[in-house]
Structures are given as C-alpha cells and as structure tokens.
C-alpha cells in the first residue's frame, strides 16, 4: 500500500517525480485505476488531502458513463490502493461489480461531500481504517 505522506514510489519517466518517493499531486490526476482482475476501471479525478495532517486520504476515481454522461465518482481510500509500475496505474482489490455498489456520487455531490461524515462508511466498504474527526 502506498504511504499517505509520500504518494507512492512512482516511475520518474511517467510521472516527473522529483525523487523516487514523491510526486506532484497534479501528476496523480489522470492515472488509471485497475480492478482485482487487472481491468481498467477509470482514472483518478482528484485527490483529497487532510488539511490538518497533510496526508492523502482519498483518490477520487471517475468511473462509468459515456462522454461524461452517467459518470460517477468513487472516493477510494488511499490505503486501499497500490501502485503498479508495470501498468503505470493504481490497483484496487475489488471487482468492477463491487465498485458499482460502493459509495459513489455525482460530480456536484463529490465536490461538496463532507468526508468527515461520510468517510467511515467509505472506509468500512473498502475495509480500511482512517481516523475521521
């Protein structure tokens, strides 16, 4: 699992990382996310950082839809992701069907989501523990 305070050990050539352990947040946006079977699910739309600790808590993945119609946004706990250098993307250990049933939101909902309130349900779904509050 990637460290929350160092956004994984990314490949310098693909990400423009300053060193092997750090990456600019804007380089994370657009990286592909793959399911447990290795199928591409979507891409990282944004990352959510705890303002107090400075730690990355969620990667918000855009998933589904066609040309932006019906697209849903899934906050994936950072601890539920692992970076796969061979794919140049993140793996999440859930199937596409399991992700369809995961907490997900429209663009307007995810942009205004109260993660302090909703975070526990999201974390429980993915089986990770993040302290909220």
pLDDT of res. 17: 44
Please check whether residue 16 lies inside any domain of the structure: yes
Determine contact, residues 94/36, Cβ cutoff 8 Å. Answer: yes
Q: Which candidate, 69, 57, 72, places its Cα nearest to that of 3?
A: 57
Split into its structural domains, the chain has a count of 1
Q: Is 73 helix (H, G, I), strand (E, B) or coil?
A: strand
5-35 confidence digits (pLDDT tens): 434 444 434 444 445 667 777 888 999 999 9
Residue 3 counted as domain residue: no
Angle at CA of residue 54, ends 52 and 59, nearest 5°: 115
Tokens 């999201």 — which residue? 122
Collapsed DSSP state (helix, strand, coil) of residue 71? coil
Looking at the domain assignment, is residue 115 inside a domain? yes
pTM listed for this prediction: 0.76
Which residues sit opposite 62 in a β-bridge? 43, 73
Which tens digits make up the pLDDT trace of 69-109?
678 899 999 999 999 989 999 999 988 888 889 999 998 89
Q: Give the CATH number of the domain where residue 92 resides.
A: 2.30.30.240
- What is the distance between the alpha carbons of residues 63 and 18, in angstroms, rounded to a whole number? 29
Domain range for 93: 12-126
Beta bridge partners of 32: 43
């Amino acid at each position: 699992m990637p460290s929350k305070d160092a956004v994984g050990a990314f490949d310098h050539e693909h990400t423009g990382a300053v060193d092997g352990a750090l990456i600019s947040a804007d380089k994370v946006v657009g990286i592909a996310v793959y399911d447990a079977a290795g199928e591409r699910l979507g891409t990282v739309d944004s990352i959510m950082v705890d303002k107090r600790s400075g730690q990355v808590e969620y990667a918000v993945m855009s998933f589904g839809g066609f040309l932006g119609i019906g697209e849903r946004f899934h906050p994936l706990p950072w601890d539920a992701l692992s970076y796969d250098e061979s794919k140049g993307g993140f793996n999440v250990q859930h199937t596409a069907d399991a992700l369809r049933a995961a907490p997900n939101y429209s663009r307007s909902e995810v942009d205004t989501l109260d993660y302090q309130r909703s975070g526990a349900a999201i974390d429980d779904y993915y089986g990770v523990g993040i302290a909220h509050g």
